Amino acid sequence: MQILTQLVFSGIALGMIYAVIAFGYQLTFATSDTLNFGQGDALMLGALVGLSLVGFGLNYWLMIPLVCLFGALQGAVVERIGVRPAIKMKSEFGWIMSTIALGIIFKNVAENVWGRDDLKFPSPLPESPIRLLGANVLPMELLVIGGALAMMLSVEFFNRRSIYGKAVVATFNDRDAAKLMGINTGLVITFSYALSSMTAAFAGVLIAPLTLTGATMGAVLGLKAFAVAIIGGLTSGMGIIVGGVILGVVETTTGFYLSTGYKDVPGLVLLLIVLAVKPAGLFGKTAIKKV
């Protein structure tokens, strides 16, 4: 039971990282019906930029706002270069290839700047575990859970309470009606991509002290986060969190009780089942459009 509790805590921490990245998918899908398939690379860049800032002597906590700003700028660039032209041309698949291509470019740039070797990110908290509910839990795992929840709640609060956030919600509800009401929907879409990459960069500096940091770290995380978004539902914030926790716990328990070689299998099987039974996701809603 002690080992299981420890695996559950580790799984929740991993699942919350998936949820933060998947939350970024939800932000862009809500405003433009597009997804940034370079989301994992935004996480990777955030972690590496954060590592460089810490290496220059900047405090970990002071580094986080700068990494978030960098992530927001990177997301805005992706939207302006890769997504906006495709939307203007009404290309259904142009944004897919553009975001994938930009992700590959970012990965190659990272390999040339930081090298191909994985690097150790210094932890801002003690690395000795603490006892919690009978299990040994790393303080950084608790920070990951709390930080991920805080980021998602902050963005949700911003969307619900601020005038700019309400413009995002209005664009989500009906883009054409929002445009007729004077809302600059193009700027809103850029803003949603900036928020999306900002959350991914933040996730990068959260998870980096628990794992190795390198140019390839974002590929698998971005793919699994996309699976979480599909499992939970691209239209449901609660579904994103539940889907992330489910996948994270399933991975850690499978890796321990069966084999690390099989830890990715249950999550993918769950994804296939959800797509077959409820394509909109466990908490997603199917939209009915009249044509």
Residue 208 gets which letter from DSSP? G
- What pLDDT is attached to residue 14? 85
Q: Is residue 288 domain-resident?
A: no
Structural domain of residue 249, as residue ranges?
1-277
CA distance 49 to 193: 19
Q: Is residue 283 domain-resident?
A: no
Q: Is residue 197 domain-resident?
A: yes
pLDDT digits (tens, 9 = 90+) for 115-133: 888 889 888 888 787 887 7
Instruction: Assign 184 a pLDDT band (cuts: 50, 70, 90).
Output: confident
User: Counting Cβ atoms within 10 Å, is residue 61 exposed (0-12), middle (13-18) or buried (19+)?
Assistant: exposed
Q: Model-level pTM?
A: 0.87
> Is the C-alpha dihedral spanning 213, 216, 221, 226 positive or negative?
positive
Q: Is residue 284 domain-resident?
A: no
Instruction: Assign 284 a pLDDT band (cuts: 50, 70, 90).
Output: low
CA distance 52 to 261: 32
- What pLDDT is attached to residue 140? 86
pLDDT digits (tens, 9 = 90+) for 39-72: 889 999 999 999 999 999 899 999 999 999 999 9
Which position has the higher pLDDT, 32 or 70?
Answer: 70
CATH number at residue 242: 1.10.3470
Which position has the higher pLDDT, 189 or 180?
Answer: 189
pLDDT over 70 for what percent of the chain?
97
CA angle 253, 257, 262 (to 5 degrees): 75
Q: Is residue 286 domain-resident?
A: no
How many structural domains are present in the chain?
1
Q: Is residue 260 domain-resident?
A: yes
Q: Is residue 291 domain-resident?
A: no
